[in-house]
């Protein structure tokens, strides 16, 4: 697997530092809250499981599996929910855990969907952000690292469902997917 990478852009040690920084921030911002943490499957499961173990507030965990179609300026009707939350989130503070924000389509639809479920607050924590690819005004409230427009794998991120188990994040060689 390692030989399929052009370059490692976030090492295991850097991931650890990012987790500590994000958790410190979240532990301050949500110190007096009970949180519903929503893990967006499958890409975010490793990031989410590492992050929640550093959080100190009471929280519950939900998993969602979603995909989006088309233009994010139209309603959440374009969100395909394959796995929904299992408990009512009405009135709850929600934190979406996402692996990477690329165009922002998935998250803008998901955020709208959760707001329509009447969550009292919906925020986004993303491990990686590729702002140069954004097609809407969505941005993470908490962000691990901003990266250039490259296709990356590892630490939950896949190409054709592979590479998720790499303990670091790297740029995939173009010849693997072209």
Judged by the rule CB under 5 A, the positions of this chain that interact with Mg ion are: 43
Among 152, 154, 166, 170, binds ligand IMP (CB under 6 A): 152
The kind and range of the H/E element at 22 are helix 12-29
The CA distance from 151 to 5, in Å, is 10
Tell the smallest beta-carbon distance from residue 55 to ligand IMP (Å): 21
- Closer to Mg ion at the Cβ: 18 or 30? 18
Asked if 129 is part of the footprint of ligand IMP (rule: CB under 6 A), the reply reads no
∠ CA(89), CA(83), CA(141), 5° rounding?
A: 55
Asked if 124 and 115 touch (Cβ cutoff 8 Å), the reply is no
The CA distance from 48 to 166, in Å, is 15
Tell the smallest beta-carbon distance from residue 136 to ligand IMP (Å): 9
Asked if 39 is part of the footprint of ligand IMP (rule: CB under 6 A), the reply reads no
Residues of this chain that bind ligand IMP (CB under 6 A): 43, 68, 98-106, 151-153, 157
């Amino acid at each position: 697997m390692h030989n399929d990478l052009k370059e490692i852009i976030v090492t295991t040690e850097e991931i650890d530092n990012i987790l500590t920084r994000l958790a410190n921030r979240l532990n301050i911002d949500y110190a007096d809250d009970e949180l519903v943490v929503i893990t967006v499957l499958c890409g975010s499961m490793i990031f989410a499981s590492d992050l929640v173990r550093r959080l100190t507030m009471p929280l519950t965990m939900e998993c969602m599996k979603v995909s989006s179609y088309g233009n994010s300026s139209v309603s959440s009707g374009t969100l395909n929910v394959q796995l929904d939350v299992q408990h009512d989130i009405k009135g709850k503070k929600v934190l979406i855990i996402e692996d990477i924000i690329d165009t922002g389509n998935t998250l803008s639809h998901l955020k709208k969907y959760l707001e329509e479920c009447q969550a009292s607050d919906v925020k986004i924590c993303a491990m990686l952000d590729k702002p140069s690819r954004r097609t809407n005004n969505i941005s993470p409230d908490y962000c691990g690292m901003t990266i250039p427009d490259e296709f990356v794998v590892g630490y939950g991120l896949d190409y054709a469902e592979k590479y998720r188990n790499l303990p670091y994040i790297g740029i995939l060689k173009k010849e693997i997917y072209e």
